[in-house]
Amino acid sequence: MKTRAAILRATGLARPYADSRPLSIESVDLDPPGPGEVLVAIKAAGLCHSDLSVINGDRPRPLPMALGHEAAGVVEALGEGVTDLKPGDRVVMVFMPSCGHCSPCAEGRPALCEPGAAANGRGELLAGGRRVHAGPEPIHHHLGCSAFAEHAVVSRRSLVRVDDDLPFDQAALFGCAVLTGVGAVVNTAGVRAGQSVVVIGLGGVGLASVLGALACGATPVVAVDLDEDKLALARTLGPVATVNAGDGDAVEQVRALTGGGADVAIEMAGSVRALDAAWRMTRRGGLTVTAGLPPPDATLAVNVVSLVGEERTLKGSYIGTCVPSRDIPRYIALFRQGRLPVDRLMSGSVPLDQINTAFDRLAEGRVVRQIVSFDGS
């Protein structure tokens, strides 16, 4: 079948993207779903910094690539062997498919699936190969999703079914921003009621971490960013103290607010400088978590004496250490109870044709989560 998709053919183009147009909207050919695969009509897709890091070249990926990894849509057709979904089901995409058989999957850690990571690195689906073509030219998949498109063929293991009454724009956020941000708090850090938490970097994922910390009963919760509008938004989410990272004494401010350092510091800015600040904001015996993705050659210097003598922990978090089939329904339930108001993170919607301009806004730090809408909203 034919479908329209946003195709990235070159990285590192100059901004503004509205002029250089790194993403071209093309009519492409989409193969039918193979065994274990599903054809999905995309209804809403979120713009994430992980997409931006591919566009600007920070995260090298095979090109050309159909971009996008955070989305919700409707099942249109099923490949052979898919028996637990039906046409018309509403689904959320997950950007790490899990095979269910490798060592991490067997240990209950599907976010670390080895075949899934290998397929994502190659720009292929879990079963191997690519389903998008521009004439004879194969187009790589972005993290098994390629969600900036009217339709996508994905592995069944990249989908979680959700309730039919959940709006698509809200549902899309649960596939990345909420899984990664809330999961870093709940799963990776295991935050308990009464612990102090600081979150550095208030994009969609970072603000989701703030919501997760509040839902866990953390106190105090401190949010850190350079943008005053994002800090103001964080304050509207609950009892959140804020610190502007541009202040020369930001680390000391956080240490003062948390009585000498946070029990848990979470870095979501994708910056080594931010991770270093998070480390220095963490108390003796505390936990520093990072889910940011700086360029692959970025390194962090850690004082080993502090690591040992203060019994400190530095831990990575990928997709919030999630089990998507378990966590997405749980987080949606908390959203419906009003305890995870993730709809507050949305900055508006755009049509697919305006996606380059939308990425300019994201690169400038002027928005939290924009949604590419395919349902006319």
- For the chain, 377 residues long, the average pLDDT of each consecutive 10-residue run is 98 97 98 98 97 94 98 98 98 96 96 97 98 96 98 98 96 97 98 98 97 98 97 97 93 97 97 95 98 88 92 96 97 97 95 98 94 80
pLDDT at 247: 86
CA distances from 317 to 103, 181, 199 (A): 18, 9, 14
pLDDT at 293: 84
Verdict on whether the full-model pTM lies above 0.85: yes
Residue 88's SS3 state is: coil
- Calpha distance 67→146 (Å, rounded): 5
Handedness of CA 275, 276, 281, 285 (dihedral sign): positive
pLDDT at 104: 97
Those residues with Cβ within 8 angstroms of residue 96's Cβ, 6 or more apart along the chain or in another chain? 110, 111, 113, 116, 117, 120, 143, 144, 318, 319
pLDDT at 108: 94
Q: 78 pairs with which residues across the strands?
A: 38
- Calpha distance 187→358 (Å, rounded): 31
pLDDT at 316: 97
pLDDT at 376: 57
